[in-house]
Structure 1
């Protein structure tokens, strides 16, 4: 057993508070509550096939995607884990078109939580790894309630970001701006334990790329040339890259973070602005890497 195996997430956060003035009690409270939600979601994901949580609801969300039962469950769990903390002025979920307000009966704080409750939910039925993505911003407007302006801030203004991967084990990865840390859930004690301290992409990076090549005919000529280069088919590359693609952003990103390589989801003729959502997906992942 290594020393890291006995460092709980709670202990890690307390130590961060001691050494970094910008890591406040309110921010720590947000992280604690996210881990509680992650434990509950992990439990339900692991038994989704036997408690009627698989499949879609028949509805379509604001992104134009079929809403999965677990999407709504995860959104509700995160909201209820966070709404009473006194740390947030509002929340924003990928599954909801409008801001999620803090109930009047609870105190409001100075942070905004932005989250994708269950990314990759179309893979739930086939037992592929899925995940939760989150981002935290400071409130920038006057007043008590959160506003659209508080939510739509530039990515470089994030104060924390992370994701939870529900796979062969449940893992939480987060950063608050100085170092990236990974914690693995030990189900026997119900605690996230530090398993990956100071995560960085390996150098030299792994020669792997992650992209859905079914869209190749719809990409720009520049993107097509890049793919030919990565495969060593353009006569210029000396070593070709290998393809690794799961189809779940959190799972693909997590592998790329640990092994190195390139993750891509480029624009195409069908989606000229790309498909990754800046607020819920691209910005949080960019802060981590």
Structure 2
């Protein structure tokens, strides 16, 4: 067990005296092992038989399901059954599953984020959130999942790409582990990730420009004007359409991600799920020195009203997230847009 290995990291946490530290460490170890199995299945591609579509099948929120969506959900549920997890909530299931009344943890999971990208070999992943069970899990199985994001005691994701990586926070920093087949385990390659507060890179689906509210449109327009616009600098734009892949890029090299609500039918509150996508990603980002909001308020302050609740999501470099909040709140009053007072105003050469 090397000092930078996942097992050593989890052992140190288990001995830390933190709330449910032993149980959290044991649960993450099982999630990591399940992730290795899933990564191997994905690597088999069409030869593995797990990528087939389930014609007409949809999850609890109406999204189409792939065969691998269902397989990963089954594998993580089986892992949870052998862990200290008493309640299991998944994107693929309408309601939480009660595993055991004498277990202290509630696990919320998106078993396979970005599954629409499977055929194009784009990185996909698993996002998870760990909370303590509160109240009576038999009488109120939903209650443990509906608190604010601050109730989480651990969060993370697995990303299945050129490398299989596990990114976790146990409440004291965010750490990146990469799986090494040669070393037969996950090993830390980025301890204590720190997201730069400044960035010149943003990620958004620009095809929705006409549907955005004014503030988001103005922010985007100012960025793409580059050195000739009010931002007076060149920006790069990215869009992978995989939340895990977007988050991983930002944790590794900075940037900001935007998935706002818009005027399309069913998109007023965005499309990402609060409990098992936005909350865990926000915890990881905040623990790395970044910020995460719904364009207005911190994501971790928001309590869910239902398990599959959707939310707008902006996260990444703190200064840029704050700027986006100002555009959203006062789109017509941004100082760098006012011709009389901007850096390139009426009275400036």
TM-based fold match above 0.5: yes
Alignment of 1:51-62 (within 5 A): 51-58=48-55, 59-62=57-60
Mapped pair 1:156 → 2:162: no
Mapped pair 1:207 → 2:200: yes
Could you tell me how far apart the structure 2 residues matched to 1:123 and 1:143 are?
Answer: 36
Could you tell me how far apart the structure 2 residues matched to 1:258 and 1:248 are?
Answer: 16
Q: CA deviation at 1:20?
A: 4.4
Q: Give 5+ residue unaligned stretches, structure 1.
A: none
Alignment of 1:79-94 (within 5 A): 79-85=77-83, 87-94=84-91
Could you tell me how far apart the structure 1 residues matched to 2:177 and 2:93 are?
Answer: 29
Could you tell me how far apart the structure 2 residues matched to 1:81 and 1:17 are?
Answer: 19
Conserved 8 A contact 1:267-1:275? yes
Alignment of 1:86-105 (within 5 A): 87-102=84-99
Mapped pair 1:232 → 2:228: no
Task: Please identify runs of 4+ aligned residues in structure 1 that moved more than 4 A.
Answer: 143-146
Conserved 8 A contact 1:55-1:125? no
Secondary structure of 1:33's aligned partner: helix
Could you tell me how far apart the structure 1 residues matched to 2:163 and 2:229 are?
Answer: 41
Query: What is the aligned partner in structure 2 of residue 243 from structure 1?
Result: 237
Q: Return closer, same or farther for 1:145/1:5 CA change in 2, 3 Å cut-off.
A: farther
Deviates more, 1:209-218 or 1:140-149: 140-149
RMSD: 1.9
Query: TM-score scaled by structure 1?
Result: 0.92
1:41 to 19, 38, 41: 38
Could you tell me how far apart the structure 1 residues matched to 2:281 and 2:173 are?
Answer: 14
1:116-144 CA-to-partner distances (Å, cap 9, x unmatched) read: 00000000011110000000011110366
Could you tell me how far apart the structure 2 residues matched to 1:143 and 1:149 are?
Answer: 8
Deviates more, 1:9-18 or 1:254-263: 9-18
Could you tell me how far apart the structure 2 residues matched to 1:150 and 1:268 are?
Answer: 30
Q: CA deviation at 1:107?
A: 6.9
Conserved 8 A contact 2:87-2:137? no
Could you tell me how far apart the structure 1 residues matched to 2:146 and 2:200 are?
Answer: 35
Mapped pair 1:279 → 2:279: no
Conserved 8 A contact 1:202-1:258? no
Q: CA deviation at 1:91?
A: 0.3
Instruction: Give the number of the structure whose alpha-carbon radius of gyration is greater.
Output: 2
Q: CA deviation at 1:196?
A: 1.0
Could you tell me how far apart the structure 2 residues matched to 1:223 and 1:144 are?
Answer: 43
Q: Give 5+ residue unaligned stretches, structure 2.
A: 286-349
Q: CA deviation at 1:79?
A: 0.7
1:13 to 10, 26, 37: 10
1:127 to 121, 138, 156: 121
